[in-house]
């Protein structure tokens, strides 16, 4: 696996804006000693995407939730189709629900007048998920577009990556793009969970210290996640259930922690951290 550095690879996440994947912008990204990895949607009429989907080949399993297949389309760019079996199951489930909902909406529409069918088609057109599978016959009748359903089935769990670096393997391209998603996820966590903003400092060194502290907090979160194999939300929820209780009586006051649960013990063990002391503080009664 290669050592990824921002000075070498420029990752670009295509959010549906044509400017990201235009030839002019790709040439701009390649200025100097830089390359790019671009994620492209498969639901388009792009010649490259059409050619990529038509190529035969075997997938290579990269991880439990990813398979990759490189296809030869261009002499100057690399194209890798990624397939996520778990995402494919989700896509199939969502599509089945949409098709069932659409079938229920158009059931009996043949008995409607032409105007009423047009009004129904107009309402469906405001729902992109449903309208994608709607077909209108030459006589104006509403039907499920079975050809569209079959086409969508072939795209379940798949996305296309375009890369310019000829030295990367298909696995490196796929893993590199996944790292971009982790970077974006980290920025969202810093701005939301860790409250990076607003910044109430004016001096440069204090602003820099504020950002560094947030980054260190994010680093601790990621270390905890990778070490335990659980999300930060799960870790925080379990550890929030560990409390310190205060007991007061004639002989004085003492504070002790609640007995740790099995999930809490597992987290402390995996993180190689000592459990909190059972008795935290003992205070004698006032004379």
- 287 within some domain: no
Judge contact between 66 and 82, C-beta under 8 A.
yes
At 129, phi and psi to the nearest 5?
-60, -40
Clarify whether residues 70 and 93 are in a common domain.
Answer: no
Query: Which DSSP letter does residue 79 get?
Result: E
Query: Which DSSP letter does residue 88 get?
Result: H
Clarify whether residues 49 and 107 are in a common domain.
Answer: no
pLDDT above 60 for 283: yes
Q: Residue 165: which pLDDT band, with cuts at 50, 70 and 90?
A: confident
Task: For the sheet with 252-257, list strands across it.
Answer: 244-249, 252-257, 279-283
Q: Which residue range is the domain that position 102 belongs to?
A: 87-153
Clarify whether residues 165 and 27 are in a common domain.
Answer: yes
SS3 content of the chain, % helix, strand, coil (to 5): 45, 20, 35
Clarify whether residues 122 and 219 are in a common domain.
Answer: no
Residues in a beta bridge with 81: 69, 160
Average pLDDT taken over every residue of the chain? 82
Structure tokens at 37: 């990895």
Clarify whether residues 132 and 226 are in a common domain.
Answer: no
Clarify whether residues 73 and 14 are in a common domain.
Answer: yes
Neighbour tally for 69: CB within 10 Å:
19
Clarify whether residues 121 and 263 are in a common domain.
Answer: no
DSSP states of 191-252: HTTS--------SHHHHHHHHHHHHHHHHHHHHHHHHHTS-HHHHHHHHTT--EEEEEETTE
- 2 within some domain: no
This prediction's pTM: 0.57
Cis peptide leading into 198, omega within 30 of 0?
yes
pLDDT above 70 for 194: no
Query: Which DSSP letter does residue 263 get?
Result: H
Pick the range with the lowest mean pLDDT from 7-11, 54-58, 107-111.
Answer: 7-11
- 3 within some domain: no
At 210, phi and psi to the nearest 5?
-60, -45
Q: pLDDT digits over 93-137, tens only?
A: 999 999 999 999 999 999 999 999 999 999 999 998 899 999 999
Judge contact between 267 and 236, C-beta under 8 A.
no
Query: Which DSSP letter does residue 275 get?
Result: P
Q: Residue 201: which pLDDT band, with cuts at 50, 70 and 90?
A: low
Clarify whether residues 17 and 131 are in a common domain.
Answer: no
Judge contact between 177 and 11, C-beta under 8 A.
yes
Clarify whether residues 68 and 23 are in a common domain.
Answer: yes
Clarify whether residues 125 and 14 are in a common domain.
Answer: no
Residue 144 confidence (pLDDT)? 95
Q: What is the CA radius of gyration of the chain?
A: 28
Distance CA 160, CA 195 (A): 34
pLDDT above 50 for 81: yes
């Amino acid at each position: 696996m290669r050592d990824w550095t921002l000075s070498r690879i420029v990752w670009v996440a295509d959010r549906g804006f044509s400017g990201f994947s235009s030839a002019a912008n790709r040439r701009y990204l390649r200025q100097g000693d830089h390359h790019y990895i671009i994620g492209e949607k498969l639901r388009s009429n792009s010649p490259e995407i059409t050619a990529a989907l038509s190529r035969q080949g075997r997938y290579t399993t990269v991880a439990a939730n990813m398979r990759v297949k490189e296809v030869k389309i261009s002499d100057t760019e690399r194209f890798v189709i990624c397939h996520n079996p778990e995402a494919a199951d989700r896509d199939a489930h969502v599509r089945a629900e949409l098709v069932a909902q659409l079938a229920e909406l158009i059931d009996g529409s043949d008995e409607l007048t032409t105007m009423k069918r047009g009004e129904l088609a107009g309402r469906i057109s405001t729902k992109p998920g449903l309208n994608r599978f709607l077909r209108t016959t030459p006589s104006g009748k509403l039907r499920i577009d079975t050809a569209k359903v079959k086409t969508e089935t072939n795209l379940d769990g798949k996305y296309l990556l375009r890369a310019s670096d000829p030295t990367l393997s298909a696995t490196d391209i796929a893993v590199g793009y996944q790292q971009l998603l982790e970077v974006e996820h980290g920025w969202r966590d810093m701005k939301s969970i860790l409250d990076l903003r607003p910044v109430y400092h004016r001096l440069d060194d204090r602003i820099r210290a504020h950002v560094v502290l947030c980054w260190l907090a994010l680093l601790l979160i990621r270390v905890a996640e990778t070490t335990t194999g659980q999300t930060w939300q799960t870790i925080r929820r379990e550890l929030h259930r560990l409390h310190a209780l205060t007991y007061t009586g004639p002989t004085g006051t003492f504070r002790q922690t609640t007995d740790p649960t099995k999930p809490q013990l597992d987290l402390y063990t995996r993180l190689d951290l000592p459990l909190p002391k059972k008795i935290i503080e003992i205070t004698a009664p006032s004379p």
